[in-house]
Amino acid sequence: MKKLYSVIILILIYNINFAQTNLDSTIVDSTKNIITKTYPQPENTVKIFYAEKSELIVIQSIGLNKDNLTIQLIDQNGKFIQETILYQGSTLAYFDTQTLYNGDYTIKIIGPTGTSIENVTIKKK
């Protein structure tokens, strides 16, 4: 009986980790404004989302972050706003958006193997 439970648990874990995640594409959930992007290798997935109540743009590393990633926030006009580093072994980095206006901003993630650019929209009430 224990062996059967172990097999069922392994199947559930497999389905959660692999069936719902497409590591080669960007997934945008328009209702929550969450972007999931593989960067720069399949084991380094990053989620970017705007937390409206706390007025933060959060960058979350899913899995082990093996290298320091420089993350830049750029406005619609291409003006550099802020920069932060997602350190090796860390899982979270964020930008405080209390002083920013509503609109579209660009998140630029720079790592040792390349650069990824994603957009995020800030909508304050």
* Ramachandran sector of residue 39 (left: φ over 0; alpha: ψ -120 to 50; beta: rest): beta
Nearest alpha carbon to residue 120 among 54, 58, 40, 44: 58
Element (H, E) at 118: strand 114-122
The better pLDDT of the pair 10, 100 is held by: 100
Domains annotated for the chain, with CATH where assigned, are: 23-122 (2.60.40.3080)
pTM recorded for the entire structure: 0.64
Q: Could you tell me if 116 and 39 are in contact, meaning their C-beta atoms sit under 8 angstroms apart?
A: yes
Residue 125: predicted pLDDT: 77
User: Tell me: the pLDDT tens digits for 21-75?
Assistant: 333 334 444 444 555 554 444 446 788 988 888 899 999 988 888 889 999 999 9
What is the pLDDT at residue 37?
A: 56
Other Cβ atoms closer than 10 A to 36: 21
Please check whether residue 60 is in contact with residue 91, taking contact to mean a CB–CB distance below 8 angstroms: yes
